Amino acid sequence: MKNLSPFFILPCILLTAWFADAASLIPNATLEKASADQWPEGWPRHEQAAYLEENGNHFLRQTAVPDKMVMFYQNIPLPKGTEALKLTMRVRYEGVKAGKENWHDARVIIDFKDAAGKKLSGGPGHPSFKGTSKGWETCALGMVVPPDAATLEIMPTLFNAAAGTLGIDDLELTPIALEEAGFVTYKLSEPMPVPKECKSAELVAKGNRLVATSDGREVWLQGVAIASLEWSAGGDNILKSVTNALTEWRSNVIRLAVKSDFWFGHGPWQSDGGVSYRALVDEVVKQTQARGVWVVIDLHEYRAPEQRHADFWRDVATRYANHPGVIFGLLNEPHDVPWKIWRDGGVVQDKSEPKDGVYAENSEKNKSFASIGMQKLVDVVRKTGARNLVTAGGLDWGYDLSGVLEGFALTDRGGNGIIYESHVYPWKRGWQKCFLDAAAKHPILIGEVGCQPERMPFIPPEAHEMPETWAPDMLGCIQKHKLNWTAWCFHPQASPCLLLDWNYTPTPYWGVPAKAAIAGKPFEMKKLR
């Protein structure tokens, strides 16, 4: 093997025979097989590396050279059909000091590549290390394999670190089932018992209505959407807001926005593996059911379902299976995919065709990835044994439900039914086709709805409408058709705002009429949009 420099090693060539060891796709993963020149077989070597032995165990150690990249390089061919991988390793690091940048440290760089050697998006994060470890530490990663991946690059590296050593041992890579990738380092939730004080009725979809299973009475969900747990692991006044929304605003449903990364403890500044985040959601679940109302756990993410969303629902549905007051909001706002991919999954393109009246409603950059489809999310929930109602948002950022009546309705196997969810704002047109036609046949949740005097920056002036004309018609439409709804947003900074402040003063343009409508004040729809 030719060594181009002391600090960068060319890919090593792996022999087919190495795959005979089912324990790992990486050759000589334990580093115990040594060649005649006393170097582990199948591993590259360079001047800053040493092959060492302690108490009969062999390992590799690299030493930093300031402002240089010191690495081992392994390029692992992936067997055809591999959907997910488990990577485990033992590391020991001593005196690792950051270089010129804070991310100049010890790390294991991991990248998927296609057959042409192009790096693919969707790879895992790179485990990184600074300072000195307490002996050997075991690291594990679960990885979903991108559709076009042919190889996996693994590079234990001192990445321009100023000083330190990085030891590595037992680097093993094994194919696993796709649904297990998210649970390599996270233990699946135990079912949470339904609280003894639960007063919420179990609901089921019947025709285009929701009814209580106990007595058949119709239930009309009217309430508010509570934000902040999708951007902060601690949220903003969550429990206080729940109490106010249920008592002062007389809501009988809360739509609680959450984020999967925070649920699993992967967010910035989370150090407890998500324990406190999940406990906060638990408390909302307990409080709403104790008051006899309902909570929609809204996975506040976008575009199209991915395996990470299935992992989230596998865990959440296991945790809250058959809680009468809990509804599962499968994905906040799908957009920029065809209806077939929305339902069945497929490769989502990084570019989409512009459509009249459809606007990019946030700055999220589109990317290409493999979607598993909305039907898979329903199936994942049902596989846990949870019969809870689920909501499925349409296209155009959750607004358009027309495809549901055009052959792309979802199938519920063994559950209480599917509520289709639409998000309606003043720039949305075609109410009849986009949600009212579907509402004639299916239960509908207007999961987000609201207006404000200021024009959103992505909306052209001709598409903006003032609240004094739009709000009465929208609320009148909701009441005329008895659409379930949760007004956006019960937060003074998440526009359009229901609140002026944390004293829960309603905004005059949207909070006042929305609060009145929840309390029963009638509104007249004079004009469809």
pLDDT tens digits in sequence order for the chain, 529 residues long: 333 232 332 223 233 333 333 468 998 999 999 998 899 999 999 999 999 999 999 999 999 999 899 999 999 999 999 999 999 999 999 999 999 999 999 999 999 999 999 998 767 888 999 999 999 999 999 999 988 899 999 999 999 999 999 999 999 999 999 999 999 999 999 999 999 999 999 999 999 999 999 999 999 999 999 999 999 999 999 999 999 999 999 999 999 999 999 999 999 889 999 999 999 999 999 999 999 999 999 999 999 999 999 999 999 999 999 999 999 999 999 999 999 999 999 988 876 666 666 666 666 666 678 899 999 999 999 999 999 999 999 999 999 999 999 999 999 989 999 999 999 999 999 999 999 999 999 999 999 999 999 998 888 888 889 999 999 999 999 999 999 999 999 999 999 999 999 999 999 999 999 999 999 999 999 999 9
Domains of the chain: which residue ranges?
16-183, 221-348+367-449+483-507
* Superfamily the domain 16-183 falls into: Galactose-binding domain-like (2.60.120.260)
The contacts of residue 1 (CB under 8 Å, 6+ apart) are 9, 10, 12, 44
Per-residue burial over 132-159, b = 16 or more CB atoms within 10 Å of its CB, e = otherwise: ebeebeeeebbbbbbebbbbbbbbbbbb
> Three-class SS of residue 477?
helix
Query: For position 16, what pLDDT does the model report?
Result: 30
The CATH number that domain 221-348+367-449+483-507 falls under is 3.20.20.80
Contacts of 299 (CB under 8 A, 6+ apart): 258, 259, 260, 309, 312, 313, 329, 330, 331, 332
Are 10 and 73 in contact by the 8 Å Cβ rule? The answer is: yes
CB 528 within 8 A of CB 477: yes
Q: Are 395 and 334 in contact (CB under 8 A)?
A: yes
- pLDDT of 299 reads 98
Give me the DSSP letters along 392-436.
Answer: EEBHHHHTB-GGGGTTT----SSSS-EEEEEEE-TT---HIIIII
Type of residue numbered 74: Q
Buried b (16+ CB within 10 A) or exposed e, 428-461: bebbeebbbbbbeebbbbbbbbbbbeeeeeeeee
CA dist 416 and 421 (Å) reads: 16
CB distance 163 to 97 below 8 Å: yes
Identical fold at 16-183 and 221-348+367-449+483-507? no
Residue 77 neighbours by CB under 8 Å, 6+ apart: 14, 25, 150, 151
The one-character DSSP state at 262 is: H
- Which residues lie closer than 8 Å to 45 by C-beta, 6 or more apart? 3, 9, 39, 51
pLDDT at residue 8, rounded to an integer = 30
Instruction: Give strand pairing partners of 81.
Output: none
Cα–Cα distance for residue pair 380/391, rounded to 1 Å: 14
Within 10 angstroms of residue 527's Cβ, the number of other Cβ atoms is 11
d(CA 386, CA 292): 20
DSSP 499: B
Alpha helices in 305-402 (DSSP H): 307-319, 339-344, 374-383, 395-398
Query: Are the C-beta atoms of 497 and 451 separated by less than 8 Å?
Result: no
71 strand-pairing partners: 157
pLDDT of residue 364: 63
Residue corresponding to tokens 């949207």: 510
pLDDT attached to residue 359: 60
What's the confidence (pLDDT) of residue 353? 63
